[in-house]
Amino acid sequence: MLLWHIVAGLFCVIATPRVQCWAVNDVTVVEDEYGILGNQTVKRYTFSNSKMTVQIITYGGRISAIKVPDAHGGTQDVVLGFDNLKGFLQKNDPYFGAVIGRVANRIGSAKFTLYGAQYNVTPNEGQNQLHGGLRGFDKVVWEPFLHKKKLTLSYVSVDGEEGFPGTVITHVTYELTPDNELIFSVKAATTKPTPINIANHAYFNLAGHASGPNGLFQHVVSINADLYTATDNQSIPTGELVTVAGTDLDFRTPHQIGPLIQQRGGYDSNYCVNTDGHVGLVFVSRVVHPESGRYLEIYSDQPGVQFYTGNGLPQQNSVDPLTGKGGVKYHQYGSFSLETQNYPDAVNHRNFPSSILNPGTIYSHTTIYKFGTTAEERMSCHNSKYN
Protein backbone atom coordinates (compact mmCIF):
# COMPACT_ATOMS: atom_id res chain seq x y z
CA MET A 1 0.00 0.00 0.00
CA LEU A 2 0.99 3.62 -0.21
CA LEU A 3 0.99 6.65 2.02
CA TRP A 4 -0.58 9.58 0.20
CA HIS A 5 0.07 13.00 1.66
CA ILE A 6 -1.29 16.28 0.37
CA VAL A 7 -0.36 19.51 2.13
CA ALA A 8 -1.01 22.97 0.69
CA GLY A 9 -1.29 21.49 -2.78
CA LEU A 10 1.93 19.41 -2.48
CA PHE A 11 1.46 15.71 -3.26
CA CYS A 12 3.84 13.06 -1.88
CA VAL A 13 3.92 9.25 -2.13
CA ILE A 14 5.72 7.20 0.51
CA ALA A 15 5.83 3.40 0.76
CA THR A 16 4.22 2.00 3.92
CA PRO A 17 2.37 -1.26 4.69
CA ARG A 18 -1.44 -1.41 4.42
CA VAL A 19 -2.08 2.22 5.28
CA GLN A 20 -3.13 5.22 3.20
CA CYS A 21 -3.28 8.78 4.45
CA TRP A 22 -4.64 12.05 3.06
CA ALA A 23 -4.24 15.49 4.66
CA VAL A 24 -6.31 18.35 3.27
CA ASN A 25 -7.06 21.72 4.89
CA ASP A 26 -5.93 20.62 8.36
CA VAL A 27 -7.94 17.38 8.21
CA THR A 28 -6.11 14.06 7.91
CA VAL A 29 -7.72 10.81 6.77
CA VAL A 30 -6.02 7.46 7.35
CA GLU A 31 -7.27 4.20 5.82
CA ASP A 32 -6.46 0.80 7.28
CA GLU A 33 -7.84 -2.73 7.35
CA TYR A 34 -10.39 -3.39 10.10
CA GLY A 35 -11.29 -7.01 9.44
CA ILE A 36 -12.47 -9.66 7.00
CA LEU A 37 -16.09 -10.72 6.50
CA GLY A 38 -16.34 -13.69 4.14
CA ASN A 39 -14.45 -12.62 1.04
CA GLN A 40 -14.84 -8.90 1.77
CA THR A 41 -12.32 -6.63 3.44
CA VAL A 42 -13.78 -4.23 5.97
CA LYS A 43 -11.86 -0.96 6.02
CA ARG A 44 -11.58 1.74 8.65
CA TYR A 45 -11.14 5.46 7.99
CA THR A 46 -9.77 7.71 10.72
CA PHE A 47 -10.49 11.43 10.29
CA SER A 48 -8.51 13.85 12.44
CA ASN A 49 -8.31 17.61 12.77
CA SER A 50 -6.44 19.61 15.37
CA LYS A 51 -8.91 18.70 18.12
CA MET A 52 -11.00 15.61 17.38
CA THR A 53 -10.94 12.19 15.73
CA VAL A 54 -13.71 10.25 13.99
CA GLN A 55 -13.53 6.63 12.82
CA ILE A 56 -15.80 5.09 10.19
CA ILE A 57 -15.87 1.42 9.19
CA THR A 58 -17.28 0.08 5.93
CA TYR A 59 -19.32 -2.65 7.68
CA GLY A 60 -22.69 -0.95 8.06
CA GLY A 61 -21.13 2.44 7.23
CA ARG A 62 -20.73 2.79 10.99
CA ILE A 63 -19.36 5.57 13.13
CA SER A 64 -17.16 3.45 15.39
CA ALA A 65 -15.47 6.21 17.42
CA ILE A 66 -15.64 9.96 18.02
CA LYS A 67 -12.93 11.29 20.31
CA VAL A 68 -13.42 14.90 21.38
CA PRO A 69 -11.82 17.11 24.03
CA ASP A 70 -13.53 18.37 27.14
CA ALA A 71 -13.20 21.79 28.74
CA HIS A 72 -10.45 20.57 31.07
CA GLY A 73 -7.90 19.28 28.58
CA GLY A 74 -8.96 15.64 28.49
CA THR A 75 -10.20 13.66 25.48
CA GLN A 76 -12.72 10.83 25.47
CA ASP A 77 -14.61 8.65 23.01
CA VAL A 78 -18.24 9.79 23.11
CA VAL A 79 -19.96 7.03 21.08
CA LEU A 80 -20.73 3.48 22.13
CA GLY A 81 -19.34 0.64 20.04
CA PHE A 82 -16.95 -2.30 19.92
CA ASP A 83 -13.20 -2.79 19.69
CA ASN A 84 -13.29 -5.00 16.61
CA LEU A 85 -15.45 -6.35 13.79
CA LYS A 86 -16.43 -9.41 15.81
CA GLY A 87 -18.24 -7.15 18.25
CA PHE A 88 -20.34 -5.50 15.53
CA LEU A 89 -21.27 -8.95 14.14
CA GLN A 90 -22.92 -10.03 17.40
CA LYS A 91 -26.62 -10.79 17.23
CA ASN A 92 -27.24 -8.39 20.12
CA ASP A 93 -25.51 -5.44 18.42
CA PRO A 94 -28.07 -2.63 18.76
CA TYR A 95 -27.11 -0.90 15.46
CA PHE A 96 -24.21 0.97 17.09
CA GLY A 97 -23.24 3.86 14.80
CA ALA A 98 -24.80 2.25 11.73
CA VAL A 99 -26.38 3.57 8.55
CA ILE A 100 -30.02 2.47 8.80
CA GLY A 101 -32.07 1.62 5.71
CA ARG A 102 -33.72 0.99 3.35
CA VAL A 103 -36.32 2.35 5.81
CA ALA A 104 -35.18 3.51 9.24
CA ASN A 105 -37.51 3.13 12.22
CA ARG A 106 -40.70 1.06 11.96
CA ILE A 107 -43.14 -0.09 9.31
CA GLY A 108 -46.41 -1.17 10.93
CA SER A 109 -47.41 -4.81 10.32
CA ALA A 110 -44.39 -5.00 7.97
CA LYS A 111 -46.51 -4.08 4.96
CA PHE A 112 -47.60 -1.16 2.81
CA THR A 113 -49.55 -0.47 -0.37
CA LEU A 114 -47.94 1.46 -3.18
CA TYR A 115 -49.78 2.37 -6.39
CA GLY A 116 -52.34 -0.35 -5.74
CA ALA A 117 -49.86 -3.15 -5.02
CA GLN A 118 -49.31 -4.51 -1.50
CA TYR A 119 -45.77 -5.24 -0.39
CA ASN A 120 -44.89 -7.46 2.55
CA VAL A 121 -41.47 -6.67 3.97
CA THR A 122 -39.46 -8.75 6.42
CA PRO A 123 -40.78 -8.50 9.99
CA ASN A 124 -38.05 -8.46 12.63
CA GLU A 125 -39.75 -6.86 15.64
CA GLY A 126 -42.84 -8.92 16.31
CA GLN A 127 -45.20 -8.34 13.39
CA ASN A 128 -43.49 -5.08 12.43
CA GLN A 129 -40.32 -4.20 10.58
CA LEU A 130 -37.59 -2.23 12.34
CA HIS A 131 -34.61 -0.51 10.66
CA GLY A 132 -34.84 -2.23 7.29
CA GLY A 133 -35.42 -5.84 8.29
CA LEU A 134 -33.21 -8.81 9.08
CA ARG A 135 -30.39 -7.66 6.82
CA GLY A 136 -30.67 -3.92 6.49
CA PHE A 137 -28.03 -1.42 5.44
CA ASP A 138 -26.37 -1.84 8.85
CA LYS A 139 -25.33 -5.43 8.04
CA VAL A 140 -23.64 -5.02 4.66
CA VAL A 141 -20.13 -4.03 3.63
CA TRP A 142 -20.20 -0.72 1.75
CA GLU A 143 -17.85 0.12 -1.10
CA PRO A 144 -15.59 3.06 -0.16
CA PHE A 145 -14.29 5.91 -2.27
CA LEU A 146 -12.10 8.56 -0.67
CA HIS A 147 -11.69 11.87 -2.44
CA LYS A 148 -9.58 14.36 -0.53
CA LYS A 149 -11.27 14.56 2.89
CA LYS A 150 -14.67 13.11 1.93
CA LEU A 151 -15.43 9.42 2.32
CA THR A 152 -18.28 8.16 0.15
CA LEU A 153 -19.69 4.71 0.84
CA SER A 154 -21.87 3.02 -1.80
CA TYR A 155 -24.28 0.12 -1.65
CA VAL A 156 -26.70 -1.38 -4.18
CA SER A 157 -29.87 -2.80 -2.60
CA VAL A 158 -31.40 -5.13 -5.20
CA ASP A 159 -35.06 -5.33 -6.19
CA GLY A 160 -36.90 -7.45 -3.61
CA GLU A 161 -34.29 -7.14 -0.86
CA GLU A 162 -36.12 -7.49 2.48
CA GLY A 163 -39.34 -7.31 0.44
CA PHE A 164 -38.85 -3.77 -0.92
CA PRO A 165 -39.51 -2.96 -4.58
CA GLY A 166 -36.86 -1.54 -6.88
CA THR A 167 -33.09 -1.62 -7.02
CA VAL A 168 -31.73 1.28 -4.97
CA ILE A 169 -28.22 2.66 -5.16
CA THR A 170 -27.22 4.66 -2.09
CA HIS A 171 -24.20 6.89 -1.49
CA VAL A 172 -23.41 7.93 2.08
CA THR A 173 -20.72 10.58 2.57
CA TYR A 174 -18.86 11.41 5.76
CA GLU A 175 -16.74 14.54 6.15
CA LEU A 176 -14.95 16.06 9.14
CA THR A 177 -14.36 19.81 8.97
CA PRO A 178 -11.64 21.85 10.73
CA ASP A 179 -14.48 23.36 12.81
CA ASN A 180 -15.35 20.05 14.53
CA GLU A 181 -18.37 19.32 12.36
CA LEU A 182 -19.07 15.77 11.23
CA ILE A 183 -21.21 15.96 8.09
CA PHE A 184 -23.38 12.95 7.21
CA SER A 185 -25.03 13.15 3.81
CA VAL A 186 -26.99 10.65 1.74
CA LYS A 187 -28.10 10.39 -1.89
CA ALA A 188 -30.19 7.53 -3.29
CA ALA A 189 -31.91 6.63 -6.55
CA THR A 190 -34.27 3.79 -7.47
CA THR A 191 -35.52 1.80 -10.47
CA LYS A 192 -39.07 1.48 -9.06
CA PRO A 193 -41.18 3.49 -6.61
CA THR A 194 -40.09 2.52 -3.10
CA PRO A 195 -40.10 3.95 0.44
CA ILE A 196 -36.76 5.40 1.57
CA ASN A 197 -35.79 6.70 4.99
CA ILE A 198 -32.07 6.57 5.75
CA ALA A 199 -30.56 7.58 9.09
CA ASN A 200 -27.50 7.15 11.27
CA HIS A 201 -27.86 5.40 14.62
CA ALA A 202 -24.93 6.67 16.68
CA TYR A 203 -25.27 6.15 20.44
CA PHE A 204 -23.76 9.19 22.17
CA ASN A 205 -22.65 9.84 25.72
CA LEU A 206 -20.83 13.16 26.04
CA ALA A 207 -19.48 12.15 29.45
CA GLY A 208 -17.60 9.35 27.66
CA HIS A 209 -18.86 6.06 26.25
CA ALA A 210 -17.95 4.24 29.48
CA SER A 211 -19.77 6.59 31.87
CA GLY A 212 -23.11 4.77 31.68
CA PRO A 213 -26.42 6.03 33.08
CA ASN A 214 -24.72 8.16 35.72
CA GLY A 215 -23.02 10.15 32.98
CA LEU A 216 -26.09 10.30 30.77
CA PHE A 217 -28.33 11.57 33.56
CA GLN A 218 -26.16 14.70 33.82
CA HIS A 219 -26.90 15.73 30.21
CA VAL A 220 -29.08 18.74 29.42
CA VAL A 221 -31.21 18.35 26.28
CA SER A 222 -33.11 20.74 24.03
CA ILE A 223 -35.06 19.74 20.90
CA ASN A 224 -36.54 22.16 18.36
CA ALA A 225 -40.02 20.64 18.07
CA ASP A 226 -43.56 21.63 19.02
CA LEU A 227 -45.11 18.28 18.03
CA TYR A 228 -44.38 14.56 18.23
CA THR A 229 -45.91 11.52 16.54
CA ALA A 230 -48.20 9.61 18.91
CA THR A 231 -47.73 5.83 18.91
CA ASP A 232 -49.50 2.68 20.04
CA ASN A 233 -48.09 0.11 22.46
CA GLN A 234 -45.88 -1.32 19.69
CA SER A 235 -44.32 2.09 18.94
CA ILE A 236 -46.23 2.33 15.64
CA PRO A 237 -47.59 5.83 14.91
CA THR A 238 -51.34 6.30 15.15
CA GLY A 239 -51.15 9.15 12.64
CA GLU A 240 -51.85 11.81 15.25
CA LEU A 241 -49.44 14.72 15.72
CA VAL A 242 -49.56 15.85 19.34
CA THR A 243 -48.24 18.99 21.03
CA VAL A 244 -45.36 18.55 23.45
CA ALA A 245 -46.68 21.43 25.56
CA GLY A 246 -47.41 20.43 29.13
CA THR A 247 -45.77 17.00 28.75
CA ASP A 248 -42.43 15.44 29.71
CA LEU A 249 -41.65 15.36 25.98
CA ASP A 250 -41.22 19.13 25.88
CA PHE A 251 -37.56 20.02 25.29
CA ARG A 252 -38.15 23.39 23.66
CA THR A 253 -36.29 24.74 26.66
CA PRO A 254 -33.31 22.78 28.04
CA HIS A 255 -33.94 20.08 30.65
CA GLN A 256 -31.62 17.77 32.53
CA ILE A 257 -32.47 14.27 31.34
CA GLY A 258 -31.74 12.27 34.50
CA PRO A 259 -34.69 13.31 36.68
CA LEU A 260 -37.07 12.86 33.75
CA ILE A 261 -35.90 9.32 32.97
CA GLN A 262 -36.07 8.41 36.65
CA GLN A 263 -39.70 9.60 36.73
CA ARG A 264 -41.02 8.26 33.42
CA GLY A 265 -38.50 5.73 32.07
CA GLY A 266 -36.57 6.23 28.85
CA TYR A 267 -37.39 8.13 25.68
CA ASP A 268 -38.09 6.64 22.24
CA SER A 269 -40.15 9.24 20.42
CA ASN A 270 -40.15 10.93 17.02
CA TYR A 271 -40.24 14.72 17.15
CA CYS A 272 -41.56 16.83 14.28
CA VAL A 273 -38.77 19.35 13.74
CA ASN A 274 -39.81 23.01 13.55
CA THR A 275 -38.77 24.49 10.21
CA ASP A 276 -40.83 27.71 10.17
CA GLY A 277 -41.15 27.20 6.43
CA HIS A 278 -37.41 27.01 5.88
CA VAL A 279 -36.16 24.51 3.30
CA GLY A 280 -32.75 23.01 4.01
CA LEU A 281 -30.70 22.68 7.17
CA VAL A 282 -32.35 23.78 10.41
CA PHE A 283 -31.39 23.53 14.06
CA VAL A 284 -32.63 20.23 15.52
CA SER A 285 -31.12 19.74 18.95
CA ARG A 286 -28.46 20.77 21.44
CA VAL A 287 -27.16 18.46 24.16
CA VAL A 288 -24.74 19.65 26.84
CA HIS A 289 -22.80 17.69 29.44
CA PRO A 290 -22.04 20.42 31.99
CA GLU A 291 -19.44 18.47 33.98
CA SER A 292 -17.14 17.94 30.98
CA GLY A 293 -18.23 21.11 29.16
CA ARG A 294 -18.87 19.15 25.95
CA TYR A 295 -21.83 19.92 23.73
CA LEU A 296 -23.32 18.47 20.57
CA GLU A 297 -25.51 20.48 18.20
CA ILE A 298 -27.40 18.83 15.36
CA TYR A 299 -28.62 20.49 12.17
CA SER A 300 -30.54 18.61 9.49
CA ASP A 301 -32.89 18.89 6.52
CA GLN A 302 -35.07 15.98 7.69
CA PRO A 303 -38.62 16.48 9.04
CA GLY A 304 -38.19 14.30 12.12
CA VAL A 305 -35.74 13.21 14.79
CA GLN A 306 -36.04 10.10 16.94
CA PHE A 307 -34.86 10.78 20.49
CA TYR A 308 -33.83 7.47 22.07
CA THR A 309 -32.10 6.88 25.41
CA GLY A 310 -30.80 3.34 25.03
CA ASN A 311 -33.91 1.76 26.53
CA GLY A 312 -33.16 -1.56 24.84
CA LEU A 313 -29.66 -1.94 26.25
CA PRO A 314 -29.27 -4.53 29.06
CA GLN A 315 -30.35 -3.54 32.54
CA GLN A 316 -27.72 -3.21 35.27
CA ASN A 317 -28.34 -6.72 36.65
CA SER A 318 -28.71 -8.45 33.28
CA VAL A 319 -27.39 -11.99 32.94
CA ASP A 320 -26.64 -11.20 29.28
CA PRO A 321 -24.53 -8.02 29.38
CA LEU A 322 -23.37 -6.15 26.30
CA THR A 323 -19.60 -5.73 26.42
CA GLY A 324 -18.28 -2.81 24.41
CA LYS A 325 -15.02 -0.96 23.88
CA GLY A 326 -12.32 -1.64 26.44
CA GLY A 327 -14.45 -4.31 28.12
CA VAL A 328 -17.02 -1.75 29.29
CA LYS A 329 -20.47 -3.14 30.08
CA TYR A 330 -23.11 -1.00 28.39
CA HIS A 331 -26.41 -0.60 30.20
CA GLN A 332 -29.91 0.74 29.72
CA TYR A 333 -30.06 4.57 29.70
CA GLY A 334 -26.29 4.77 29.18
CA SER A 335 -26.54 6.70 25.90
CA PHE A 336 -28.74 8.87 23.73
CA SER A 337 -29.47 8.86 20.01
CA LEU A 338 -30.89 11.67 17.90
CA GLU A 339 -31.74 9.96 14.60
CA THR A 340 -32.62 12.55 11.97
CA GLN A 341 -35.11 11.02 9.53
CA ASN A 342 -38.63 11.04 8.16
CA TYR A 343 -41.48 10.14 10.49
CA PRO A 344 -41.80 6.45 11.43
CA ASP A 345 -44.19 4.37 9.27
CA ALA A 346 -44.61 7.34 6.94
CA VAL A 347 -45.41 4.99 4.05
CA ASN A 348 -48.69 4.11 5.80
CA HIS A 349 -49.78 7.65 6.77
CA ARG A 350 -50.85 10.12 4.11
CA ASN A 351 -50.63 13.05 6.53
CA PHE A 352 -46.93 12.40 7.13
CA PRO A 353 -44.18 13.70 4.81
CA SER A 354 -43.94 11.31 1.88
CA SER A 355 -41.22 8.66 2.05
CA ILE A 356 -41.74 7.46 -1.52
CA LEU A 357 -38.80 7.75 -3.91
CA ASN A 358 -39.72 7.51 -7.58
CA PRO A 359 -37.46 6.72 -10.55
CA GLY A 360 -35.86 9.84 -11.96
CA THR A 361 -35.74 11.61 -8.59
CA ILE A 362 -33.05 11.68 -5.91
CA TYR A 363 -33.43 11.08 -2.19
CA SER A 364 -31.29 13.54 -0.24
CA HIS A 365 -30.47 13.81 3.45
CA THR A 366 -27.85 15.96 5.21
CA THR A 367 -27.12 16.13 8.92
CA ILE A 368 -24.36 18.05 10.69
CA TYR A 369 -23.05 17.01 14.11
CA LYS A 370 -21.27 20.00 15.64
CA PHE A 371 -19.03 19.31 18.66
CA GLY A 372 -17.50 21.83 21.02
CA THR A 373 -17.08 22.93 24.60
CA THR A 374 -18.86 25.61 26.55
CA ALA A 375 -15.46 27.09 27.43
CA GLU A 376 -14.76 27.63 23.71
CA GLU A 377 -18.14 29.34 23.34
CA ARG A 378 -17.36 31.74 26.19
CA MET A 379 -13.96 32.51 24.71
CA SER A 380 -15.50 33.10 21.29
CA CYS A 381 -18.01 35.56 22.74
CA HIS A 382 -15.30 37.34 24.74
CA ASN A 383 -13.13 37.76 21.65
CA SER A 384 -15.94 38.77 19.33
CA LYS A 385 -15.30 41.94 17.35
CA TYR A 386 -18.88 42.95 18.14
CA ASN A 387 -18.26 43.17 21.90
Q: What is the DSSP-derived secondary structure letter of residue 328?
A: P
Determine the Cα–Cα distance for residues 31 and 308; give it in Å rounded to an integer.
31
Is residue 175 part of the annotated active site? The answer reads: no
Determine the Cα–Cα distance for residues 44 and 21; give it in Å rounded to an integer.
12
DSSP annotation string for 284-326: EEEEEETTTTEEEEEEESSSEEEEE--TTSPPTT-SS-EE-GG
Query: 190: how many CB neighbours lie within 10 A of its CB?
Result: 26
Angle at 56 between CA 324 and CA 50, to 5 degrees: 105
Determine the Cα–Cα distance for residues 319 and 166; give it in Å rounded to an integer.
42
Determine the Cα–Cα distance for residues 313 and 336; give it in Å rounded to an integer.
11
Determine the Cα–Cα distance for residues 163 and 146; give it in Å rounded to an integer.
32
Q: Verify cis geometry, omega within 30 degrees of 0, for the bond prior to 102.
A: yes
User: What count of residues does the chain have?
Assistant: 387
Bridge-based pairing of strands 363-373 and 294-300 is: antiparallel
| Beta partners for residue 222, in sequence order | 286
Residue 174 annotated as binding site: no
Picking from 196, 186, 353, the residue whose alpha carbon sits closest to that of residue 273 is 353
- Which residue out of 31, 131, 175, 201 is catalytically annotated? 201
Residue 23 annotated as binding site: no
Contact 109, 88 (CB under 8 A): no
Q: What is the DSSP-derived secondary structure letter of residue 152?
A: E
Residue 203 annotated as binding site: yes
Is residue 201 part of the annotated active site? The answer reads: yes
Picking from 128, 67, 163, 142, the residue whose alpha carbon sits closest to that of residue 98 is 142
Query: 210: how many CB neighbours lie within 10 A of its CB?
Result: 18
Determine the Cα–Cα distance for residues 203 and 268; give it in Å rounded to an integer.
13
- Which residue out of 162, 339, 349, 365 is catalytically annotated? 339
Residue 201 annotated as binding site: yes
Residue 106 annotated as binding site: yes
Determine the Cα–Cα distance for residues 117 and 145; give it in Å rounded to an integer.
37
Determine the Cα–Cα distance for residues 225 and 286; give it in Å rounded to an integer.
12
Residue 294 annotated as binding site: no
Residues making up the annotated binding site for beta-D-galactose are 105-106, 201-203, 268
Where is the binding site, in residues?
A: 105-106, 201-203, 268
Q: Active-site residues: which are they?
A: 201, 339
